[in-house]
Amino acid sequence: MTALQQQGQAAKAASYLLSTAGTAKKNAALESIARALEARGREILAANEQDLAAARAAGIRPAMLDRLTLDGGRIAGVVAGVRQVAALPDPIGRVDKMETRPNGLIIGRRRVPLGVVAIIYEARPNVTVDAAALCLKSGNVCILRGGREAFRTNQALVSALREALGAADLPEDCISLVQDAGRETARELMHLNGYVDVLIPRGGAGLIRAVAEEASVPVIRTGEGVCHIYVDSEADLDMGAEILYNAKCSRPSVCNAVECLLVHEDVAEAFLAKVVPLLDQCRVELRCDEAALAVLGSRGVPAAEEDWDAEYGDYILAVRTVKDPEEAIAFINAHGTGHSEAIITRNYFKAQRFLDAVDAAAVYVNASTRFTDGGEFGLGAEIGISTQKMHARGPMGLEELTSCKYVIYGEGQVR
Amino acid sequence: MTALQQQGQAAKAASYLLSTAGTAKKNAALESIARALEARGREILAANEQDLAAARAAGIRPAMLDRLTLDGGRIAGVVAGVRQVAALPDPIGRVDKMETRPNGLIIGRRRVPLGVVAIIYEARPNVTVDAAALCLKSGNVCILRGGREAFRTNQALVSALREALGAADLPEDCISLVQDAGRETARELMHLNGYVDVLIPRGGAGLIRAVAEEASVPVIRTGEGVCHIYVDSEADLDMGAEILYNAKCSRPSVCNAVECLLVHEDVAEAFLAKVVPLLDQCRVELRCDEAALAVLGSRGVPAAEEDWDAEYGDYILAVRTVKDPEEAIAFINAHGTGHSEAIITRNYFKAQRFLDAVDAAAVYVNASTRFTDGGEFGLGAEIGISTQKMHARGPMGLEELTSCKYVIYGEGQVR
């Protein structure tokens, strides 16, 4: 048995205990975690400083260095997040429906944890605590496999988390870190069938696609976002310009940022005249089809074929003209990733048609795609945004980390 | 592009039309299907006769020959099933929850179809129509890949179904049959990513495991049933004997039949004295641990290690003694397939503990495991019984063939 298989076996064993732990006990463990992170902050920051020094020596990009960095303020944010999760309602044990059948059997459907949730992620150490807290609250054991760059930080964090679990009388194996951040263990984790009930990759599109392709355990794909905004011929163009600017520029690296503008040919010139001055503030590069290029001249550059499927995560926008809403809908269904899509229009029927026909987790009328988020949707917190249709779609809160179990009360019934 | 990729592409295109078809239109198509099956019964039976002749010539087992056989009565049953599905409530379009957020965004979660459902199954031609009807009602396009032995029958059935769709003004590609029943096309179907949203294998454990292992499209595992009944020291032994006899002998080939009796050591002798005369009626072979063998003598045979994980589907029962409910629970969680598990006891606390701690789709107190079924659970019909925790667990009715979509009504909101 490999080290990871042993870890999987221990996680599975812990999951049987955690699945029957009550809400009060789980909340006490979350409070114990919050206190442990506060008490051991200095040690965690020292480990983070080591990771940062190694990362600087290896010459990693400033954006990545920023994600890797912890400080007192960020630890306080993480601790506040743990307490927020403790305050959320516990989905486990809720009976969604229950009825007495004609033969007298009483059949109820009860929410239960998924079991063991594995998470593969990149260099953001706050994910370690966020994910562990959401899993714990929803009765799931987690196996965390963070990025190599954050390994020392994650070790310090998980050590604090496990100590806190023990203090709260729950098995330490409810939270564990893969002890080797190499590629081989990631691959092994993807095939830990029998121990891992679901694997959630968090990070860039490359990571997510590789995991979905390779894994034999069930996977939830999250966070691939090639999002579109369609500006209709009957749009309020000023509103459309504000929405597009927000969706592109407020935080271009996130998955709910817009990557492609589809604009009705009748209003292309008027709309671009309104929105380009806004986009100029962030020097957004515009990759255009021929018709848009004819309007924009040297402000645009010609789009290549791959621009119509690109998740830039940057100040770049693909711009394409369409002749009607149906062309926009068909283009989105062919090129989108099923994340977030928006129409800007005053026309009631076009709005309804867009909501019906676009195949995505979140479809908007007259609002920014940037709202696709567990907090904004009222879920309290999220472990990711699912872009698949199986199990969960859109922001995944605590409820999306559950399964169900039928419980049946009989008095001798046979069939 | 291969023939199957073209079929996948056509299915995906049809799915965008079907997903927005209203309930009345789908019900009219189901009635059109019922009539087409009635009108073309003779042609379907002729095709079935060809399949049967080939199967007899190939010397297939009588049980399989029986599954392959259609006759007037079975077609009438299939037609009645189609009309029952038409009468079920349509889950599509229902908004599970909707709220107005503090910023004025109105966010609703709407039930939508999964998209394209592929089904790989064995020689039962009634599955062809059952599955197609459930998919159609839930707005899903289906791609059917039946067993080779039933190919001519399936062609005749699907030809009738497609003609009926056309007559009801829906795309014929809403239902299609894989036109080559070889192993290579099955494998290709398992990798038809981008066209197939979910693949459901129906059949024996070997088929299901092979599909789950191989597929890169999302899979729902169904119908693997290594089910246990635990007879507690405080059980009503007469009731327990009736339940065990029902769960083993009423239909041993199905997935909710019991495969293993776990009996508390204190009542092993008394319980076996009651139940064995019942099991004798079906000449059930008893594969026993040492303690049970000591009671049963020559009526039992020693169990081998693999008996503790066997899905017999036959008049065979594994028998094992345990020292307490916790041992039974741990054994079930280690050896069960997460399908259906039962405890027989008068003790309230043991019953509650068993319901909480056993990790399975359906957990029973004092009733037969044979009730795990969409009809018995009040779902109206089922496409299979999921033994996984992701997406759906237990009997899968129309609702389990859906996903959701967030629809968001804005008035210019930005974040």
* Nearest CB neighbour to B246, from listed A366, A372, A415: A415
Q: Strand, helix or coil at A320?
A: strand
Chain A residues with CB-CB distance to B243 below 8 A: 412, 414
- Cα atoms found within 13 Å of the Cα of residue B409, Cβ hemisphere only: 15
Query: Are A371 and B404 within 8 A, CB to CB?
Result: no
Residue A138's pLDDT is what?
98
Contact list, B107 vs chain A (CB under 8 Å): 377-378
Beta bridge partners of residue B284, listed in sequence order? none
pLDDT at B351: 98
Residue B225 has pLDDT above 90, yes or no: yes
C-alpha to C-alpha distance for A312 and A369, rounded to whole angstroms: 15
Structure-token pair, residue B6: 């073209």
B239 contacts in A (CB within 8 Å)? 412
Is the pLDDT higher at A214 or at A306? A306
Concatenate the DSSP letters of all residues of B69-123 into one string.
---HHHHHHHHHHHHHHHHSPP-TT-EEEEEE-TTS-EEEEEEEE-SEEEEE--S
Round the average pLDDT of chain A to a whole number and report it: 96
- Please determine, for residue A377, whether its predicted confidence score (pLDDT) is greater than 80: yes
Per the CB < 8 A criterion, the answer to whether B356 and A355 are in contact is no
CA dist., res. B222 & res. B289, Å (int): 29
- Predicted confidence band of residue B339 (pLDDT cuts 50, 70, 90): very high
3-state secondary structure of B403: strand
Q: Are B368 and A413 within 8 A, CB to CB?
A: yes
8 Å CB contact of B415 and A236: no
Are residues B218 and A388, on separate chains, in Cβ contact within 8 Å? yes
Comparing CA positions, the residue from A344, A378, A384, A390 lying closest to residue A363 is A344
Range in A291-305, A333-347, B119-133, B353-367 with the lowest mean pLDDT: B119-133
Q: How confident is the model at residue B206 (pLDDT cuts 50, 70, 90)?
A: confident
Amino acid type, A171: P
Which of the four pLDDT bands, split at 50, 70 and 90, describes residue A127? very high
Which of B403, B404, B409 should we substitute to test contact with A (largest number of A Cβ atoms within 10 Å)?
Answer: B403
Of A100, A410, A106, the C-alpha closest to B247 is A410
Search chain B and give the residue with CA nearest A196. Answer: B389
Strand partners, A227: A258
The residues pairing with A176 across neighbouring beta strands, listed in sequence order, are A143
Q: Does residue B181 carry a pLDDT above 80? A: no
Phi, psi of B350, rounded to the nearest 5 degrees:
-65, -40
Do B92 and B138 touch, CB atoms closer than 8 A?
yes
Nearest residue on chain B to A326, judged by CA atoms?
B16
Angle formed at CA A378 by CA A373 and CA A383, multiple of 5 degrees = 45
Beta-bridged to residue B384, according to DSSP, are B396
H or E stretch covering B109: strand B106-113
3-state secondary structure B255-312: CCCEEEEEEECCCHHHHHHHHHHHHHCCCCEEEECHHHHHHHHHHEEECCHHHHHCCC
Total residues belonging to chain B? 415
Q: Residues A17-27: what's their mean pLDDT?
A: 97
What integer pLDDT is reported at residue A293 of this predicted model?
98
**In terms of Cα–Cα distance, which of A335, A380, A327, A378 is closest to A360?**
A335
Residue pointed to by tokens 């496990």: A162
> Which residue in the set B246, B361, B389 is minimally distant from A406, CB to CB?
B361
Question: Tokens standing for B72?
Answer: 């007037």
pLDDT digits (tens, 9 = 90+) for B289-338: 999 999 999 999 999 999 999 999 999 999 999 999 999 999 999 999 99
The pLDDT of residue B213: 82
Q: Do A365 and B236 touch (CB under 8 A)?
A: no
Chain A residue whose CA is closest to B209: A216
Half-sphere exposure of B379 (CA within 13 A, CB side): 24
> Is residue A372 pLDDT above 80, yes or no?
yes
| Min Cα–Cα distance to chain B from A14, Å | 12
Strands A402-413 and A106-113: antiparallel
Across the interface, whether the CB atoms of A377 and B413 are under 8 A apart is answered no
Closest CA to A246 of B411, B103, B412: B412
ipTM of the complex: 0.94
SS3 category, A336: coil
Contact at CB, A389 and B115, closer than 8 angstroms: yes
Is the confidence at residue B38, as pLDDT, over 90? yes
A22-32 burial: b if 16+ Cβ within 10 Å, else e: eeeebbbbbeb
Handedness of CA B395, B398, B401, B405 (dihedral sign): negative
**What pLDDT, on a 0 to 100 scale, did the predictor assign at position A374?**
94
* Res. B261: pLDDT tops 80: yes
Confidence band (pLDDT; 50, 70, 90) for B203? confident
Average pLDDT estimate for A328-349: 97
Question: Tokens in use for B216?
Answer: 């890169």
Q: Residue A118: how many CA atoms within 13 Å on its side-chain side?
A: 31
Partner residue opposite A115 with nearest CB, options B389, B404, B411: B389
Rounded Cα distance between B79 and B95, Å, is 31
Residue percentage of chain B with pLDDT more than 70: 100
For residue A62, the model assigns a pLDDT of 87
What pLDDT is attached to residue B313? 92
A262, A331 in Cβ contact below 8 A?
yes
Give yes or no for residue A7 having a pLDDT over 80.
yes
Nearest CA to B279 out of B261, B262, B263 is that of: B261
By CA distance, what is B105's nearest residue in A? Answer: A367
User: Looking at beta carbons, which residues of chain B come within 8 Å of A196?
Assistant: none
pLDDT digits (tens, 9 = 90+) for A240-269: 999 999 999 999 999 999 999 999 999 999
Alpha helices by DSSP H, A224-347: 237-249, 268-280, 290-296, 325-335
What is the rounded CA–CA span in Å between residue B362 and residue A161? 34
Give the model's pLDDT for residue A214.
86
Cβ contacts below 8 Å, chain A against chain B, sum to 191
Region B96-124 average pLDDT: 95
Q: What is the pLDDT of residue B216?
A: 86
CA–CA distance, A135 with A402 (Å, rounded to integer)? 10
Q: Are B275 and B282 in contact (CB under 8 A)?
A: no
3-state SS class at A365: strand
How distant is the Cα of B122 from the closest Cα of chain A, in angstroms? 24
In the structure, what pLDDT confidence band is assigned to residue B183 with cuts at 50, 70 and 90?
Answer: confident
Q: Give the model confidence (pLDDT) of A60-86 as tens digits.
A: 988 889 999 999 999 999 999 999 999
Residue B98, Cβ neighbours under 10 Å: how many? Answer: 13
d(CA A363, CA B108): 10
Q: Is A391 left (phi over 0), alpha (psi -120 to 50) or beta?
A: left
CA distance A202 to B318: 44
Q: Is A287 helix (H, G, I), strand (E, B) or coil?
A: strand
CB contact under 8 A, B356 and A20: yes
What residues of chain B lie within 8 A of the CB of A366, using their CB? 409-413
Query: Which residues on chain A are in Cβ contact (under 8 Å) with B14?
Result: none
- Contact A105/B404, CB-based, under 8 Å? no
In sequence order, what are the residues at sequence separation of 6 or more whose Cβ sits closer than 8 angstroms to the Cβ of residue A219?
Answer: A198, A199, A200, A201, A211, A212
For residue A3, give every residue at least 6 positions away whose Cβ sits within 8 Å of its Cβ, in sequence order, or none: A179, A180
Mean pLDDT across A32-40: 98
Residue A234 clears pLDDT 80, i.e. is over it? yes
Distance of CA A254 to the CA centre of its chain: 10
Residue of B nearest to A244 (CA): B414
Which of B390, B393, B409 to mutate to probe the A interface, most A CBs <10 Å? B390
Partner-chain contact A411 B367, CB within 8 Å: yes
Q: What is the pLDDT of residue A316?
A: 98
CA distances, B33 to each of A349, B43, B78 (Å): 32, 15, 11
Supply the pTM of this predicted model: 0.94
Would you list the DSSP string of B317-352?
A: EEEEEESSHHHHHHHHHHH--SSEEEEE-S-HHHHH
Overall average pLDDT of the B161-178 stretch: 98
Q: What angle do CA A379, A381, A385 make, to 5 degrees?
A: 85
- Only one residue has tokens 């604090």, namely A160
- pLDDT value at B53 more than 90: yes
Structure tokens at A411: 């008095």
Q: Residue B380's pLDDT band (boundaries 50, 70, 90)? A: confident
